[in-house]
Each structure stands twice: as structure tokens, then as C-alpha cells.
């Protein structure tokens, strides 16, 4: 097992640039007409806001930038959105759905 880095908890902050790892699939499911996150032994059904956030998680945008974009799109205060997004992404990171 040499060469395999020991995993550490991912901590999400405003300057993190989150992304979905290769094995996590955000997919529109035609049979149910809804978005699904496919993960090992798990299927999650994100709500509309979570989908909007995850679609911007490209590994380049920071959480700050994502909050800014969504604040404009939803015409909402950026600080509130930032706090909500960090909490949501931390929950997803703890489930292995997003990485930085």
C-alpha cells in the first residue's frame, strides 16, 4: 500500500474550489424527471438550489465566486448564500460527493 496517500477530511471554506470527483455523477434521470447524484452505494436527490451550486462546482470557481454568481441569479444577499453554501458543501464533502 506504499504510495497511497492517507485520506484526510476535506474542509470547505470561501476560497475552496470544489469539484465533483470522477466517480460521482450528477445526472438528469429521464425516468423520474429529476436530477440525481450517483455515488457508491448511494443515490441522492438534490433540490433546485443544490443542483445550481453543484453545476458550478468545476474545480476552478471558488465558493466565494459561486456565492457571488448565485446572489446575482437569485437576487439574494451574498453573505447569507455564502454561509448556506459552505454548510451544504461541507455536508457533501463529508459524504465524499465533493472534493477540493
Partner 1 sequence: MSVQAPTRAAATESCARAPVGLLAELTHRCPLQCPYCSNPLALERAAGELPTEAWLDVLAQAADLGILQLHLSGGEPTVRRDLEDIVAQAAKVGLYSNLITSAVTLTRERLERLAARGLDHVQISIQDADAINADRIARYQDGHGKKLEVAGWVRALGMPLTINAPIHRQNVASLPAIIELATSLGAQRLEVAHVQYYGWALQNRQALMPTRAQVLASAELVEAARERLKGILVIDFVVPDYYARRPKPCMGGWGRGIMNVTPSGKVLPCHAAETITGLVFDNVRERRLRDIWLASDAFQAFRGTAWMREPCRSCDLREVDWGGCRCQAFAFAGAAAEADPACDKSSLHAAFTRVAETEAATPATAFVYRKPGGSAPARGTIGAD
Q: Give buried/exposed letters for 65-95 (b at 16+ CB in 10 A, else e).
A: ebbebbbeeeeeeeeebbeebbebbbebbee
Kindly write out the interface string for residues 66-85 of this chain, putting x where it contacts partner 1 by CB under 8 A and - elsewhere. ------------------xx
Residue 21 interacts with partner 1 (CB under 8 A): yes or no: yes
How many angstroms separate the CA atoms of 31 and 3, rounded?
Answer: 42
Decide: 49 and 35 in contact? Cβ < 8 Å: no
Near partner 1 by CB under 8 A: residue from 45, 58, 80, 83: 45
Choose one: 56-64, 71-79, 88-96; the region binding partner 1 (CB under 8 A): 88-96
Q: Footprint of partner 1 on this chain (CB under 8 A)?
A: 1, 3-11, 21-23, 25, 27, 29, 31-33, 36-38, 40-47, 49-50, 53, 84-85, 88, 91-97
Amino acid at each position: 500500500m506504499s504510495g497511497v496517500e492517507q485520506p484526510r477530511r476535506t474542509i470547505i471554506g470561501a476560497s475552496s474550489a470544489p469539484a465533483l470527483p470522477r466517480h460521482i455523477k450528477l445526472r438528469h434521470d429521464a425516468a423520474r424527471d429529476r436530477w440525481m447524484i450517483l455515488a457508491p452505494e448511494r443515490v441522492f436527490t438534490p433540490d433546485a438550489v443544490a443542483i445550481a451550486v453543484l453545476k458550478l462546482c468545476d474545480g476552478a470557481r471558488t465558493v466565494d465566486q459561486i456565492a457571488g454568481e448565485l446572489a446575482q441569479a437569485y437576487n439574494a444577499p451574498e453573505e447569507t448564500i455564502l454561509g448556506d453554501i459552505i454548510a451544504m458543501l461541507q455536508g457533501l464533502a463529508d459524504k465524499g460527493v465533493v472534493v477540493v
